[in-house]
Amino acid sequence: MRLEILPVLGIGDVTEGDDLAELIGNAAPWLRDGDVLVVTSKIVSKAEGRLVDVPADGPERVAARDEVLAAETARVVATRGATRIVQTHHGFVMAAAGIDASNVAKTQLVLLPRDPDASARALRTALRERYDVDVAVVVSDTMGRPWRNGLTDVALGVAGMAALRDHRGEVDPYGNELSLTQMAVVDELAGAAELVKGKCDQVPVAVVRGYLGAQRDGDGAGAATLVRDAALDLFSLGTAEATAAGLRAAATLTDRPGATPPDPAAVARAITAVAEAVAPGTTFTLVTDEEVRARLVATLPDWPAGATALVLGAPAGPAHPANLIRFGADLHRLRAALAAESVPSVLLPPPAGSTAGAVLAL
Amino acid sequence: MRLEILPVLGIGDVTEGDDLAELIGNAAPWLRDGDVLVVTSKIVSKAEGRLVDVPADGPERVAARDEVLAAETARVVATRGATRIVQTHHGFVMAAAGIDASNVAKTQLVLLPRDPDASARALRTALRERYDVDVAVVVSDTMGRPWRNGLTDVALGVAGMAALRDHRGEVDPYGNELSLTQMAVVDELAGAAELVKGKCDQVPVAVVRGYLGAQRDGDGAGAATLVRDAALDLFSLGTAEATAAGLRAAATLTDRPGATPPDPAAVARAITAVAEAVAPGTTFTLVTDEEVRARLVATLPDWPAGATALVLGAPAGPAHPANLIRFGADLHRLRAALAAESVPSVLLPPPAGSTAGAVLAL
């Protein structure tokens, strides 16, 4: 097996209403069945009229661009300075929702195609019907990524082949099962095509020949299958945004006893974490003796059944209001530290007659 | 310009001490000046003896693997269940530090090459000296990424070409400057090679022909230039880890006045955030009248110069200790919500004689 990657030259400038199948069919009469046609999303967007008029410069341009970005954004993932990483309505996580101001007039912005999988399918169908050639089509765009400098081209849409190549269940020559390997081959195809497109000015289309062979399939589920559900993603939010979410969670902790007794090591870590922050002399006692616990719980009418007790003692001294306020703040510090260890808690009023301490139900 | 991607067949199993240059030079006598040789890191690791003996199964295997992983880890980035995303000592962020149990005996694990750029340089030099061929060498591996399903091959090491292709400063046909575009072409080359390698069993090496042409350069800075400094990365920590860090930050908030007056809108957002969580009747007053502020500040000896005052009123009622403790906890809730808005605060003791409120210096 060998691959060739061929630029499609002579496509020229694409404008709204252009017929991409005709432009490509005429520029590449040498297209063959089984070729993978990789098309830069920008010319798809332009042909589909996904352009917005904006002022060429000044604060009006910034304001207009912000408005366009908001409309293209399903969810803000991370921001820093002027950078906005967002999840688009398609599910892609991209800087500025993939809105682009390059290779377009200064008074226009290019949006991503509305449905890149549909764009790929339509182009594939048109090429088959009008040029009698059965190709796969990848609609590509350039994206950054966490942890690594530099951008790469990846797929926004695909038709005529599966986005992923699945090695799961295969066994290597040593008998180890390849349990986790699904390769995002359409992203690799998009990147391979960029190697040719990026080095030729004005080459928005390239062909990968030799990859598909007999493995062609129908339109499949498209590049939409590449979108990972945010709930399954370990990096669904930027670090700063998630840290702020943690601070907000601390601000709004609810009273909730744990479903199971807490790990004493986790409680100990939480106590250690706040030791320097609380008033000197504050004491922390995780009640493990069942008899002591039963006696304590008997004084607390609202005790959640089955909860573990953590007793906090205020520093010795007169119960001055300022000291009690500080003690209350320190209690909440500990509750936040416990929450960081995934230990929920309930703050109970101190036992009747006591002014020197408080009890958390864990 | 056209590229070809060619598999190097017949390399067979690689074991410790094998001479990779000889294996590749003999398997691909057709190598030419300007080719890019993409070598799977696993055979580099095997040849370099980066193997660790572990039990074939059972808890002993898990424990041994955990120990190896800890040694390969510079920093834990995210964990969920058994998944460990870590930054390696090289700076790469990868699941399980790139440790691999496939294509190796069941009693061994393969570690990443110790210095993949050096491995690439050594292989390049050996091929030039012994086979008189001037190629670039990419050492590749398979990685997952946030937000997108499926894995792709990327570069761990490179010699004989730059890792990034820089379009910054170029101007498009519309006169827009391409300000941000540095393409990670070695990652695209690694992915392109995978398309050939992944479909042929046991093909750990492929050649990309036609890319380098006249653009060959020296060994450059290697793939190390692809490693983004964690301090510059918007996703330096997993979302759960960063959220826990925010909870810990709330637990350990320090008294720190802001350098500049806070944005009143940010203060209002913080107040709104805690409104449901604090005791009913608690009041929040951001003092904006200069005269009122001066009178208040005169009662507070520790007032930080220039700070803005936020006055909190406890709910009306007797100053029962339980109420004061609750008020203190609610104060800390507000401080955490302010911190989430990047508004630092100082908790001051209530003015002498007052038991009904507290003051935060912002």
A237 in a structural domain: no
pLDDT tier, A259 (very low <50, low <70, confident <90, very high otherwise): confident
User: How far is residue A116's CA from residue B58's CA, in Å, rounded to a whole number?
Assistant: 47
Model pLDDT, residue B259: 84
The strands making up A346-348's β-sheet, listed across from edge to edge, are A283-287, A309-313, A357-361, A346-348
Q: What share of chain A is helix, strand, coil (3-state, %, to 5)?
A: 35, 25, 45
pLDDT of residue B279 exceeding 80: yes
B245 in a structural domain: no
pLDDT tier, A80 (very low <50, low <70, confident <90, very high otherwise): very high
CA-based nearest distance A167→chain B, Å: 9
Name the residue among A165, A192, A246 with its Cβ closest to that of B249.
Answer: A246
B34 phi-psi bin (left φ>0, alpha ψ -120 to 50, beta other): left
User: How far is residue A141's CA from residue A160's CA, in Å, rounded to a whole number?
Assistant: 18
B244 in a structural domain: no
- Inter-chain residue contact A327 with B325, CB threshold 8 Å: yes
Average pLDDT over residues A216-232: 86
Shared domain check, B123 and B67 = yes
pLDDT of residue A329 exceeding 70: yes
pLDDT: which is higher, B303 or A118: A118
CB B145 within 8 A of CB B85: no
CATH at residue B277: 3.40.109.10
User: For the packed helices B321-340 and A321-340, what is the interaxial angle rounded to 10 degrees?
Assistant: 50
Task: Give how many domains chain B has, as a whole number.
Answer: 2
Shared domain check, B257 and B209 = no
Name the residue among B145, B195, B242 with its Cβ closest to that of A243.
Answer: B242
Shared domain check, A260 and A177 = no
pLDDT tier, A199 (very low <50, low <70, confident <90, very high otherwise): low
pLDDT of residue A179 exceeding 70: no
Shared domain check, B352 and B271 = yes
Which chain A residues are Cβ-neighbours of B254 within 8 angstroms? 277
Q: Among the listed ranges A2-11, B73-82, B268-277, B341-350, which one has the minimum average pLDDT value?
A: B341-350
CB A188 within 8 A of CB B5: no
Shared domain check, A48 and A109 = yes
Shared domain check, B167 and B48 = yes
**Domain range for A292:** 253-361
Q: Does B20 touch chain A (CB under 8 A)?
A: no
Percent residues over pLDDT 90 in chain B: 69
* Mean pLDDT computed over every residue of chain A: 91
B240 in a structural domain: no
Q: Among the listed ranges A18-22, B45-49, B146-150, B304-308, which one has the minimum average pLDDT value?
A: B304-308
Q: Does A5 touch chain B (CB under 8 A)?
A: yes
pLDDT tier, A301 (very low <50, low <70, confident <90, very high otherwise): confident
**Quick one: closest CA in B to A251, which residue?**
B333
pLDDT of residue B264 exceeding 70: yes
Q: Does B15 touch chain A (CB under 8 A)?
A: no
Name the residue among A85, A173, A247 with its Cβ closest to that of B250.
Answer: A247
User: How far is residue B42's CA from residue A109's CA, in Å, rounded to a whole number?
Assistant: 44
Which tens digit of pLDDT belongs to each residue from B113-155? 999 999 999 999 999 999 999 999 999 999 999 999 999 999 9
Query: Which of A236, A325, A333, A360 has the most B C-beta neighbours within 10 Å, making it the best mutation to test the interface with B?
Result: A325
Q: Among the listed ranges A46-55, A324-333, B201-210, B312-321, which one has the minimum average pLDDT value?
A: B312-321
- Inter-chain residue contact B202 with A85, CB threshold 8 Å: no
pLDDT: which is higher, B314 or B193: B193
Shared domain check, B304 and B172 = no
pTM assigned to the model: 0.91
pLDDT tier, B5 (very low <50, low <70, confident <90, very high otherwise): very high
Beta-carbon pairs below 8 A across chains A and B? 390
Model pLDDT, residue B215: 58
Complex ipTM: 0.91
Shared domain check, B167 and B261 = no
A246 in a structural domain: no
Q: Among the listed ranges B78-87, B193-202, B265-274, which one has the minimum average pLDDT value?
A: B193-202
- Inter-chain residue contact A337 with B248, CB threshold 8 Å: yes
Residue A41: C-alpha distances to residues A119, A210, A226, B137 (Å): 9, 23, 16, 31
Average pLDDT over residues A114-120: 98
Q: Does B349 touch chain A (CB under 8 A)?
A: yes
For B175, the token pair is 């006169």
Name the residue among A145, A183, A195 with its Cβ closest to that of B145.
Answer: A145
Average pLDDT over residues A46-69: 95
Which tens digit of pLDDT belongs to each residue from B201-256? 679 999 999 999 755 667 778 999 999 999 999 999 999 999 999 999 999 999 88
Shared domain check, A193 and A64 = yes
pLDDT tier, A254 (very low <50, low <70, confident <90, very high otherwise): very high
CA-based nearest distance A230→chain B, Å: 7
pLDDT of residue B95 exceeding 70: yes
Question: What's chain B look like in SS3?
Answer: CCEEEEECCCCCCCCCCCCHHHHHHHHCCCCCCCCEEEEEHHHHHHHCCCEEECCCCHHHHHHHHHHHHHHHEEEEEEEECCEEEEEECCCCEEEHHHCECCCCCCCEEECCCCCHHHHHHHHHHHHHHHHCCCCEEEEEEEEEECCEEEEEEEEEEEECCCCCEECCCCECCCCCECCCCEECHHHHHHHHHHHHHCCCCCCCEEEEECCCHHHCCCCCCCHHHHECCHHHCCCCCCHHHHHHHHHHHHHCCCCCCCCCCCCHHHHHHHHHHHCCCCCCCCEEEECCCHHHHHHHHHCCCCCCCCCCEEEEECCCCCCCHHHHHHHHHHHHHHHHHHHHCCCCCEEECCCCCCCCEEEEEC
Q: Does A1 touch chain B (CB under 8 A)?
A: yes
Average pLDDT over residues B72-87: 95
Shared domain check, A216 and A177 = yes
Q: Does B9 touch chain A (CB under 8 A)?
A: no
Which tens digit of pLDDT belongs to each residue from B181-196? 899 999 999 999 999 9
Which chain B residues are Cβ-neighbours of A322 within 8 angstroms? 349-350
CA-based nearest distance B290→chain A, Å: 26
Average pLDDT over residues B89-96: 96
CATH at residue B67: 3.30.1330.100
A79 in a structural domain: yes
pLDDT tier, A314 (very low <50, low <70, confident <90, very high otherwise): confident
Report which residue type is found at A94: M
**In chain B, residues 150-189 whose CB comes closer than 8 Å to chain A:** 150-154, 163-165, 167, 172-176, 178, 181-185, 187-189
Percent residues over pLDDT 90 in chain A: 69
Model pLDDT, residue A214: 57
Sign of the Cα torsion A265, A270, A272, A273 reads: positive
Name the residue among B3, B227, B243 with its Cβ closest to that of A195.
Answer: B3
pLDDT tier, A172 (very low <50, low <70, confident <90, very high otherwise): confident
Query: Which of A42, A235, A302 has the most B C-beta neighbours within 10 Å, making it the best mutation to test the interface with B?
Result: A235
Chosen domain end from B232, B264, B282: B232
pLDDT of residue A75 exceeding 60: yes
Which tens digit of pLDDT belongs to each residue from B337-356? 999 999 999 988 766 666 56
Model pLDDT, residue A160: 95
pLDDT tier, A149 (very low <50, low <70, confident <90, very high otherwise): very high
Average pLDDT over residues B173-177: 70
A240 in a structural domain: no
Shared domain check, A294 and A179 = no
Shared domain check, B146 and B100 = yes
Which chain B residues are Cβ-neighbours of A200 within 8 angstroms? 1
User: For the packed helices A20-27 and A116-131, what is the interaxial angle rounded to 10 degrees?
Assistant: 50
B27 in a structural domain: yes
pLDDT of residue A355 exceeding 60: no
Q: Does A347 touch chain B (CB under 8 A)?
A: yes
Average pLDDT over residues B103-114: 93
Name the residue among A5, A101, A243 with its Cβ closest to that of B246.
Answer: A243
